[in-house]
Chain A
Amino acid sequence: MTIDTMRLREDFPILKREVHGKPLVYLDNAATTQKPQAVIDALVEYYSSYNANIHRGIHALAEEATGKYEATRQKVADFIGAPDASNIVFTRNTTESINLVAQAWGRKSLSAGGEIVLSTMEHHSNLVPWQILAKEKGLTLRFIDIDDDGQLIAADIERCIGEKTKLVAITHMSNVLGTINPVREIADRAHQHGALILLDGAQSVPHLPVDVQELDCDFLAFSAHKMLGPTGVGVLYARNELLEEMNPFMSGGEMIRRVQLEESTWNDVPWKFEAGTPNIGDVCAFSASLDYLTDLGMENVRAHEIELVQEAVRRLANVPGITIYGPESAAGKGGVVAFNLEDVHPHDLGTVLDHHGVAIRAGHHCAQPLMKRLDVVATGRASFYVYNEPTEFDALIEGIEAAARLFRAPVHTGA
């Protein structure tokens, strides 16, 4: 393996703890990731040595904090191949980034009769904001469906994206199936029809090399906490001319240039979209997670997860009664495996696994339409990151086998 997991695990203090008397096996990384000591230290350093409000103070602490905050913006731009730091808006999370686009761009630029194209595998955060906007503006939502392998149906992409399409809002990587979507092809088709494309990068940016210029996307939304960073920091990347023409999102201090009693003018982008005091401490600590991932190399992160997902699927497939959802090939799949065990509800499975020290997610994963499409009420989901190693799957499999023994009716032999 290109990533030395054993050495790397030393950087994550939480991985030393036990749960229910067993070593923690953390397989819920699609929900949130653990933090290396460097990120925790960066947070402590901000509050213990340069805590100040940014962009307005004329004292040394304010200058230091502003410098670090804006340097993180540049680091984010570099991490995703954005042309400039001004393409990066800090928000609270992916959900807020998508809402920002729906409110600040959608409400201004869309009108009745227009269409927004989504897919049936979207997280609620890339579905509900568009439902609300569609209702308000008289827009139509169209949905690209998936096939039984959990891939977007190519013919559906062609059918849905057409002359009336104004925006394609789609996940780069499914948080349930792990499917990595052909977003460059989708972007090309959207652009041919004069539409824009927004990528939900909550799962892709932490796990794959992502370059916004190569993908030719207009908007990209993701969260720091899913990539070793603190909670409370989201990112919106947008092309500069879009940010310029968009309305403000929230309003108040920081986002203004000149305020009069009756009207105001707006600050330059990206600050036009960052009303009020932002989450300075967490943004500064996010810088350390970007450094950590950059040092590892995103190609290596991806290669590590391909190995993990292959091994996880191989081990799970050997357990009688397991159904795995999503693409069969690890090459087209991120580090996520959604599965069900026959006769055992995922919540029961989750409880049994928890007592084996194994943290997985059980539920609908904020993707209820996808659950309906798969015809299940819920699934279990194991999701991986840089610090996971194949030996951890021993505890996962043991827990699943224990759940099967517990919940299945005893097998009656004989007549």
Chain B
Amino acid sequence: MPQSIPEPEFDELYRELILDHYRSPRHNEPLVDADVVAEGYNPLCGDEIELRIDFKNGSVSDLSFGGRGCSISRASGSIMTDLVIGKPVADVRKLSELFNKMMTDPEAEVPEELGDLEALQGVAKFPVRVKCATLAWHTLEDGLKQREEGGHAVRHEE
């Protein structure tokens, strides 16, 4: 019987910090006249995210996120805004890389730079929910690329 598979802990998925960001998301008011608008979409669950990004001197100077999604995708977006605002683009890319790595290996040590994102580590144990957590970051990467290439609106699909 398949019951012998170790069960992911429910509490590890819905940590209090995640629930807090879900209930009261940060930077949820859309930025007006943002430099870049990037949209993300997860066709599997219908989650939508819209990021509005401002840049200044090679850094992400401001960032808002909106859209409709589950607790994991909303918390991931909300924590991301807190962490990314004010950071140089190169550092943001590094964070994104570290976060993606954390999502593929639930047992690995969480690097300090990830800060509150550590709360999302438990998601890696729920394979069907990983894309909920990565949607915001993949959309952000698309936004950075858009800035680099001077292109216009992009739509990221998980």
Contacts and interface: CB of A to CB of B under 8 A. Distances in A.
Interface of A: 17-18, 20, 345-348, 351, 355, 362-364, 368, 371, 377-378, 406-409
Interface string B11-36: 00110000100111000000000000
Output the residue of A347, A362, A368, A408 with the most chain B CB within 10 A.
A347
B129 A351 contact: yes
B116 interface: no
B45 A347 contact: yes
A362 B10 CA distance: 18
B153 to A, nearest CB: 20
Nearest to B23: A409
7 contacts: A347-B45, A351-B129, A355-B10, A363-B45, A368-B46, A377-B68, A407-B19
A355 B129 CA distance: 15
A406 B19 contact: yes
Given A351-B13, A351-B126, A351-B129, A407 B71 contact: yes
Interface in B31-71: 44-48, 68-71
B46 A363 contact: yes
A364 B41 CA distance: 13
Contacts of B22: 407
Interface of B: 1, 3, 7, 10, 13-14, 19, 22-24, 44-48, 68-72, 126, 129, 132
Output the residue of A345, A363, A378 with the most chain B CB within 10 A.
A345
Nearest to A364: B46
Contacts of A20: 7, 10
A348 B70 CA distance: 6
A371 B47 CA distance: 12
A409 B24 CA distance: 8
A363 B129 CA distance: 13
B125 to A, nearest CB: 12
B3 A378 contact: no
A16 B7 CA distance: 19
Nearest to B13: A351
Contact of B71 (A345, A362, A377, A409): A345
B139 to A, nearest CB: 16
A339 to B, nearest CB: 16
B23 A407 contact: yes
A371 B44 CA distance: 13
A377 B71 CA distance: 14
A368 B72 CA distance: 22
A286 to B, nearest CB: 25
A345 B22 CA distance: 10
B19 A345 contact: no
Nearest to B70: A345
Contacts of B10: 20, 351, 355
Contacts of B24: 409
A409 B74 CA distance: 14
Across chains A and B, which 8 residue pairs bring their CB atoms closest together, nearest first? Answer: A345-B70, A377-B46, A409-B23, A347-B70, A378-B46, A377-B68, A364-B46, A348-B71
Contacts of B48: 377
A368 B43 CA distance: 9
Nearest to B68: A377
A363 B19 contact: no
Contacts of B44: 363
